[in-house]
Amino acid sequence: MTAKKTILLILFLIVGFLFINHLYQIVFKKPVFARIIFFGDSITQAGVKRNGYVTIVANTLKQEYPNHNLEVIGAGISGNKVTDLQARLQKDVLAKNPTHVVIYIGINDVWHFYAFDNVTGTDAKVFEQGLRDMIQQIRDSGAEVSLCTPSVIGEKPDSKAEVNQLLKKYADISRNVAKTSGVHLCDLRIAFEEYLRTNNKKMSYQGILTSDGVHLNDQGNRFVADVILKHLRPLLTEREKLEQQKNLEDSGI
């Protein structure tokens, strides 16, 4: 067999395999039960690592819903603030047709007022409007929104430091936006405060749930995953009930 014929045969086999695989996906693959996108900054970017909170959530939900086609996607980028999320919402979230979007943002919007060169934080009104804009677009797409409060900058929840007090204010903004927009609130800030008051007796700046006062260590990733799983389970249960009801109606029962 000549080299040309060999190449053509290989190309034919590749095309045939791709076609059969595509046909199999159409005919046999289960429809997506839930596609959950985690949208955020470096905490979420790191969350897709082996011990990251996104990975823990994904593995746990797939074990709990073995008969459902459930997808979990991390869409975090280091340094992002609310305006950055707005800019990439279409490409990184809406284009993937999610059923649920978990927004975890706000730390850099505050932290960048106090740390790092050549960057600044986000004005409170801009932060609030950015959240509302994203929520509206996501809801218009048909997906459910879960808005997380920003967690911590330093693990002293009752610190009088200006950066901590401002982060508390931005957490309040997130709570108000969730309430007035009618979306789900996942209050990570409250969860962190309650845990750290009990488990950070020495009032350390870092080392309990974070490696540097902001970014999650292994325990922090497990903690956030547990809080988010507790938040998501009722939403998925409700979705499962609606899906079952729809199947009954479609079958005429």
pLDDT attached to residue 6 = 61
Please state whether beta strands 100-104 and 184-186 pair in parallel, antiparallel, or not at all (unpaired).
unpaired
Q: Is 169 part of a structural domain of the chain? A: yes
CATH code, domain with 167: 3.40.50.1110
Q: Is 4 part of a structural domain of the chain? A: no
pLDDT attached to residue 19 = 54
Would the pLDDT of 26 be above 50?
Answer: no
Other Cβ atoms closer than 10 A to 163: 17
Distances (CA, A) of 129 to 120, 143, 181: 17, 19, 12
The domain in which residue 153 lies consists of 31-236
7 or 69, which is more confident? 69
111, 151 contact by CB (below 8 A): no
Q: Is 253 part of a structural domain of the chain? A: no
pLDDT attached to residue 201 = 94
Q: Is 132 helix (H, G, I), strand (E, B) or coil?
A: helix
Mean pLDDT on 109-123 = 94
Q: Give tens-digit pLDDT for 168-225.
A: 999 999 999 999 999 999 999 999 999 999 999 999 999 999 999 999 999 999 999 9
pLDDT attached to residue 118 = 86
The total number of structural domains that make up the chain: 1
What contacts 196, CB < 8 A, 6 or more positions away? 152, 155, 156, 157, 208, 209
pLDDT attached to residue 200 = 97
pLDDT attached to residue 244 = 67
Q: Is 245 part of a structural domain of the chain? A: no
Distances (CA, A) of 3 to 8, 9, 46, 64, 156: 9, 10, 47, 51, 69
Q: Is 179 part of a structural domain of the chain? A: yes
Mean pLDDT on 142-159 = 97
**Full-prediction pTM beyond 0.95?**
no
Q: Is 129 part of a structural domain of the chain? A: yes
Q: Is 160 part of a structural domain of the chain? A: yes
Mean pLDDT on 102-110 = 98
Residue 103 sits at φ, ψ, to 5 deg, of -95, 120
Q: Is 247 part of a structural domain of the chain? A: no
Would the pLDDT of 121 be above 60?
Answer: yes
